[in-house]
Every structure is written in structure tokens, then in C-alpha cells.
Amino acid sequence: MDFWERIKERVLVADGAMGTLLYERGVPKGHCYDELNLSNPTLIQEIHKAYLDAGAELIETNTFGANEYILSKYYDLGEKSKEINYRGAKIAREVARDKFVAGTVGPVTRPLESREKLQSSEIKEIFTSQILALLEGGVDLIILETMASIDELLLGFRAARAVCDLPIICQLSFAEDGRTILGVDPVEASIRLDKEKVQIIGANCGIGPQSVYESIQRMGHITQATLSAQPNAGRASWTGEKFVYPATPEYFADYAKRYVSSGVSIIGGCCGTTPAYISAIKNAVESLTPKPRKIVQINVGAGLKPTPTGRDEVTSPLQQMLKEKFVLSLELEPPKSTNVEKELLTAESFKNLGGDCVNISDNPMARLRMSPIPLAHIIQDKVDIEVILHFTCRDRNLLAIQSDLIGMHALGIQNILALTGDPPSVGDYPFATAVFEINSEGLVEIINSLNNGTDWLGNPIPNPTSFFVGVASGLDGLSRTKKKIAKGARFIQTQPIFDIENFRKFVSEFPDIPVIAGILVLGSLRQAEFIQNEVPGITIPDPIMERMKKGATDEGAIIARELLGELRKFSDGACIMIPGGKYELIKDVLK
């Protein structure tokens, strides 16, 4: 039967998850499921047949991630893309007989996994190549699903429309806030898809039947296009070494009826759903016809998505100080306990000695200490002194990094030193797992995005941050530091300086960026020898090494005092580092 004639009669039931069943049947997580079209076609046929036996009248090919770009980037299978798609279509066609086969096309880009940018022409070409192979394999329609970007979805639709006149389903995936992860609203999506004359639109995946229902209701009041819905079986949890989905087939069947009442014509499932869910849907909607929808006119120019409030520059007291004077800072390590009295007294004493700000380190050398965020807030609040907070990528994923940054800004912390961080292998917990989803360069980019009113994915945030972000650098790190400045860094803080002339050359490379020199108070000859021979990027001149060999116990403080005097002549500031928490030595350095 013709597809369009069929969906006029009654609700069309689609299939459920492919990946869920493959995982249940022993295919390990991380294996390329699309490749199974070549290596284990019998398994794919068995799953298609299970859904058909459960009552599905539309099955989707096992080709969600089978475009050339994804197969090349993640699995080294790019050259087999055409074959995988062709075989995926053939496998489904052979078992479907008189039922419909939809060629499944997922997104090309994966913004949560990669920041790589592709041109629109490249994306469209990738879509076209996959769709042509599916057409050759004999599909009845094309389904573009789990899309986060309306622009990418439209590129896929245009690619499909250019090479065939088959029905095309366009589905987006909406998150908990009712938008896709790239900030696309169901109303905005409906308007743009209508303008393109898309005939079938809908929602799939998401976080469960209820959220898809809410998105579909909003879409249904905007568009006259046919609606489709294929939700997840609820929000998955990891229990007993496997994913568990909470929504039951009975719950799914109840929502299937609600979908029909909202005018939905195509209903199936996504992640976590099985033939049992499809059977429940079939029994629930078998005799139902989608109800008419009330269409609401929306002014396209009304502005459905808030516009980010961008800013080219931020201001903080530290930033202003660096323009007016030589800034003096002291690096503090957070305590290993909950008691911050020593750190408060040290900050107060340093302020009274003429200090302008304090640096708060973030678990240096990957050794367990209090989080720097509460200590920075307490010192800033109690002592009324500027704080430079060290912030590392070691312990936080992209979500936590942005969450912490927004929270820090709410606490009034503005000055950030963006660091990659020492790996756990060098610290107290060598068996701990490091995150490192990005490095310090990426962290600078994230902070600059927040300052300009958007998150990492480009979604607008109502109130932009105003961080003054700096980066650490060795004297041999010119090229890396310049890249970070290009990403938005606004000041530099160096590793410990012992060679004034080399530092002077370094500063000359950054005429428009404040440079704060690191000054390490050497505590012993042993420490000096370690730095000289085992720490990359730091060179201690021979005269200083000789002085440490012959000098008294306070020789390190005397050397630091002399270096500080020289640096005041041409540097923008200095950060004094005192090992072992012997902060009382600061008085000797500042004599």
C-alpha cells in the first residue's frame, strides 16, 4: 500500500530500539552496531523480525551512525559506508515484505563529543552519500532522527529531497528543558520545517514518553504536517552492569493513546524499547485515528530564542590594578582539612604587608586538599582582597566545568587561571580516573563563551559571566600561550623565574597582555637541584645555584627579594610561591 494512503487510515506503528536489543544479545558497548550489517546480518534480521511479529508496520534500517564521517572518525570504517548502508536496507527489505522500511539517518556532527566544524556543503554531501546507498538498497522512506541542530536537519532533508521523492520524516531530540542540546525549541523547529515544506515532523529519543508528548503538543499546534513520536523508555540508569529503563510497556501504551489524541500518526520507540513495548503500543492504538489539531499562528519574527548578550571585554578590580600598578600576589594552597584559619590569617597578613591579591591553587601535584572555590570565596569575603582562582580540567567533565564556573561567578569570583592540571598518577591517588575532556586552551574558550553569553554548545545563558581569565606559561611556551590568548586569555602568569634576561625577552612578545612573573622562594639546595634537573621549562642560572650551595638557610628568601626588585622595573606583577606552607617567609621577601 502507498505510504501516504496508509497513514490516512489509522495510526502507523513503527519499531523500537535496535541498539538496546543488540546490547542485550551480547554485542559489547563500543562496538560499531552499523557494521553488524556486514559481519552478522542474521542477528539484525532477527531483531527486525521480532518487531514485525510484535506488530510494527514500519521498521528502521540499522544505519543510524553509518555515514562516512562518523564511521571514519570513530571506527575506521569510512570506506565501507556505502556497503553498510546498502546491506542495512537490503536486510530490512528482505524481512519486511509488505511492511514499510525506513532508511535511518542520524546526525553527522556530535557536538558533545567533538568541536570539529564541518562546512554545510560537506555535511550535505555526507548525507547525500548515505541516502543514495539506502535508496539503492530499496527503502520506502527516509527518516532523519535524533537531530539537535535544525540547520543540520534541514541539510539532511534537502539532501534527501534532491535525490528522491520518497516520504521523509524529520525528527529532533528534545532534552529536559524542552529544547535540543543546541537550544532548538519545538515551536522554532516547526516553523522552520514548515517553511521548508517538510511533510512529516516529530520527536524521538529525549528522556521519555512525557517529555516527547509535551514537545509533540507544542509542534502540533504550529504545523499541519504529519506528526511522529518515538520516545525513549524513560531516563536510563546504570544498574547491575547494564542500562535499565524505568518506563514499562503499559506506561508506553498509555502515552501512545495520548499521542493519538494530540494528532500523532506514527508511533514507535527509541532507546530502551523492545518488541514488548511495540506490542503494547499496537494493542493500544490499533483502532484509533489521530484527532484533528488546532493550529495557532505564530509571528516568525517574534524571536523564539533569546539573543546572547555578548561583550568584548570584562572588567575586574585585578584587571584595573594591572593597568595602574605592579601587582603583588601570594600563592596559597588550600588546607587538607576543613579549617581555613591559617589561610585567612596569611591572606590578612599579606594584605597588611602591601599584597594586592592571592592565588588559590587547585589540588597541585594531584594531592588531596580542599576545593579552591570555597576557600577563594571565604578569603575574598573575609579579607577583602582580590583572588586568582586556579581552575583545572583534571577532575571535571564539560558539564561540571561550566556548572562550577557559573557558580563561581555567582559567588563573586572573577579572576581565573585556566590550567590543564597535574595527572592523578603523580599524586596521592594514582589509581584515580582523570577526566581531561579538554585542556587549558579549551577551558579558556569555554570561559570566553560564558563571558559572551553562551555555553560550550552555543546555547544562550541569561546573564553572561565576567571572568578575567589568565593562563600559565613557561618561558619556552610562546606558541601555546599565543594560541590561548587568541582564544580569549587576558593575562599570563609564568612558572618560577630565575633568569631575568630570558623573562624580559618573553615579556617583549606580549606587549598588550599583562604578565605576572612567578617567584619561587627556594627552601633548600636539594629543591634547587630538583627544579634545575627535573622540572621542564625552568632554568636556574649557575650563580644562583652557587649561592644556594654556599648560602645560609634564608638565602632563598634573599634571592627572591632581589628578583622581585628587578621585576618591578618592567613586569606587570609577581606571584610569590612559598613551598611547604612556610608563609611566614613572605616578610623576609618583602623587606
pLDDT tens per residue across span 466-522? 999 999 998 888 999 999 999 999 999 999 999 999 999 999 999 999 999 999 999
**Residues 469, 325 within the same domain:** yes
What percentage of residues in the chain have a pLDDT greater than 90?
71
pLDDT, mean of residues 261-276: 96
Which of 261, 296, 331 lies at the terminal end of a domain, its last residue? 296
Crossing angle of the two packed helices 500-508 and 555-567, in degrees rounded to 10: 30
417: number of Cβ within 10 Å: 25
**Residues 344, 492 within the same domain:** yes
581 Rama sector, left if φ>0, alpha if ψ -120 to 50, beta otherwise:
left
Most confident among 5-19, 108-122, 227-241 (mean pLDDT): 5-19
- 558-570 pLDDT, tens per residue? 999 999 999 999 9
Which of 296, 327, 348 lies at the terminal end of a domain, its last residue? 296
**Residues 243, 330 within the same domain:** no
Which of 251, 266, 296 lies at the terminal end of a domain, its last residue? 296
pLDDT, mean of residues 304-318: 58
Residue 302 has pLDDT above 50, yes or no: no
**Residues 246, 336 within the same domain:** no
Most confident among 76-80, 293-297, 351-355, 419-423 (mean pLDDT): 351-355
**Residues 256, 112 within the same domain:** yes
Tell me whether residue 547 is in a domain.
Answer: no
- 49-67 pLDDT, tens per residue? 999 999 999 999 999 999 9
CA 580 to chain centre: 37
pLDDT, mean of residues 161-172: 97
Tell me whether residue 305 is in a domain.
Answer: no
**Residues 288, 354 within the same domain:** no
What is the pLDDT, as a whole number, of residue 315? 76
Tell me whether residue 418 is in a domain.
Answer: yes
Residue 459 has pLDDT above 70, yes or no: yes
Tell me whether residue 426 is in a domain.
Answer: yes
Tell me whether residue 538 is in a domain.
Answer: no
What is the pLDDT, as a whole number, of residue 245? 85
Structural domain of 366:
317-522+566-589
pLDDT, mean of residues 292-297: 79
What is the pLDDT, as a whole number, of residue 59? 98
What is the pLDDT, as a whole number, of residue 308? 45
**Residues 462, 363 within the same domain:** yes
Mean pLDDT for all residues in the chain: 91
Instruction: Quote the Cα angle for 44-46-48, to 5°.
Output: 70
Among 17-21, 252-256, 309-313, 476-480, name the one with the lowest average pLDDT.
309-313
Residue 557 has pLDDT above 80, yes or no: yes
Domains in the chain: how many in total?
A: 2
CA distance 109 to 182: 12
**Residues 269, 391 within the same domain:** no
**Residues 278, 341 within the same domain:** no
What is the pLDDT, as a whole number, of residue 574? 97
Residue 399 has pLDDT above 50, yes or no: yes
Residue with the larger pLDDT of the pair 91 and 458: 91
CA distance 377 to 380: 5
What is the pLDDT, as a whole number, of residue 95? 97
CATH number assigned to the domain comprising residue 225: 3.20.20.330
8 Å CB contact between 498 and 532: no
Most confident among 236-245, 303-312, 328-337, 528-537 (mean pLDDT): 328-337
Residue with the larger pLDDT of the pair 33 and 295: 33
118 to 109, 125, 193: CA distances (angstroms): 8, 11, 22
pLDDT band at 304 (very low <50, low <70, confident <90, very high): very low
- Reduced to 3 states (helix: H, G, I; strand: E, B; else coil), residue 48 is helix
What is the pLDDT, as a whole number, of residue 114? 67
Tell me whether residue 88 is in a domain.
Answer: yes
Tell me whether residue 531 is in a domain.
Answer: no
What is the pLDDT, as a whole number, of residue 423? 83
Residue 9 has pLDDT above 80, yes or no: yes
Residue 303 has pLDDT above 60, yes or no: no
**Residues 287, 348 within the same domain:** no
**Residues 280, 344 within the same domain:** no
CA distance 433 to 431: 7
**Residues 288, 411 within the same domain:** no
Residue 309 has pLDDT above 60, yes or no: no
590 CB burial (10 A radius; 0-12, 13-18, 19+) = middle
CATH number assigned to the domain comprising residue 365: 3.20.20.220
Tell me whether residue 32 is in a domain.
Answer: yes
Cβ partners under 8 Å of residue 153, min gap 6? 144, 147, 170, 172, 189, 193
What is the pLDDT, as a whole number, of residue 450? 94
What is the pLDDT, as a whole number, of residue 156? 97
